Amino acid sequence: MTTGTESREVPGLFKQNGATIGRLLANGNLGQAEEGPEGRMHARVRIPPDELVWDPEVLVLPHGGDLELEIVNDDDNTHCALLPSNGDSQFIWLVNHSRGTASLNLDGPGYYWYGSPTGNDEGRGLTGAIVVMGEAPPEARLDRPAQPRP
């Protein structure tokens, strides 16, 4: 019989070479993008040493639009990032101890995955999420009374 339990109670799921070979996805830190006066959003993600994880692993944007992202590789290994953006996905190579930037344009609401497409970084833990909050614009919504949501 299978017994349900909180995943946090299982030791070693959220580290490298613990319970699993890599790190279970999408259970890292959560961070918020900041909105500048010009309307563009700004955020920073980094890869800490030997964790093969994005920090924050879940980046939250208050709404769709333009994001300026700083990406820092503090690891002792080389990684990269392939990030979603309207127009084309954005790629950056991240050698050990490097720092770069990316400009992203994303719709909201919804969430998007990004990762480090080298070796199996993505499976080991370097798969992050960008969460975009908000609603569809008023002119796009249905002409109907407000409906119950889950």
Binding site for another protein (CB under 8 A): 71-74, 81-103, 105-107, 109-115, 117, 122, 127, 132, 135-137, 139-145, 147-150
Of 36 and 110, which CB lies nearer to another protein in the complex structure? 110
Of 11 and 137, which CB lies nearer to another protein in the complex structure? 137
- How many Cα atoms sit within 13 Å of 107 on the Cβ side? 6
Measured from the CB of residue 118, what is the shortest distance to another protein in angstroms? 11
SS3 100: strand
Q: What is the CA radius of gyration of the chain?
A: 18
Of 34 and 135, which CB lies nearer to another protein in the complex structure? 135
Distance CA 63, CA 13 (A): 31
Amino acid in the structure at residue 130: I
Measured from the CB of residue 7, what is the shortest distance to another protein in angstroms? 19
Beta-carbon count within 10 A of 126 CB? 27
Measured from the CB of residue 62, what is the shortest distance to another protein in angstroms? 15
Measured from the CB of residue 97, what is the shortest distance to another protein in angstroms? 6
Cα 119 to the chain's mean position, in Å? 19
Of 11 and 87, which CB lies nearer to another protein in the complex structure? 87
Torsion angle in degrees (nearest 10) through CA of 30, 135, 112, 89: -120
